[in-house]
Amino acid sequence: MAILDDGTIAVAFDPDWDLRRQRTSLAEESVSIGGKMATFLWGDYRSYSLPVTYIPSSDAMQINKWWRNGDELNADIQLEYFTLGDSYLGLLDQSYNPLYGDIKFRIVNTQQPFSQFIRPYTDEYAGTLEIEAI
């Protein structure tokens, strides 16, 4: 179960099992005149790719609106088991998952997240939701 909310409206949905999570480090590497390599880590942020099938049109339109407006969102993803690629990770490690804390997210899809109907339905959508911590 995943829940996104902007403080006023909440949308709950079930992401598909092939979701991905990433941690991106903000780092800089430099080489001194003497040839010594130095790496400076400035921080990191997390991002998630959440494929969703069979999301109602009202929820899809709300998520598309948040994406269009660039709204900051709260996110809560609660999964018991998690796969990353072909490897099984077992219970979700809450220390890795920032969604239990007070971190804001933004939808960063390059195109509208939900723009395709699921055949034969005309009131349910499918798409992939890309979110990043801000």
Measure the N-to-C terminal CA separation of the chain; round to a whole number of Å.
22
Q: How far is residue 38's CA from residue 16's CA, in Å, rounded to a whole number?
A: 41
pLDDT beyond 70 at 81: no
Q: Span 100-118, mean pLDDT?
A: 85
Phi, psi of 85 (to 5 degrees): 70, -130
pLDDT bin (cut points 50, 70, 90) of residue 121 is confident
Q: pLDDT tens digit string along 7-47?
A: 899 999 988 888 888 888 888 999 999 999 999 888 888 88
The model's pTM is 0.74
Length of the chain: 134
Q: How far is residue 58's CA from residue 109's CA, in Å, rounded to a whole number?
A: 19
Q: pLDDT tens digit string along 50-59?
A: 999 999 999 9
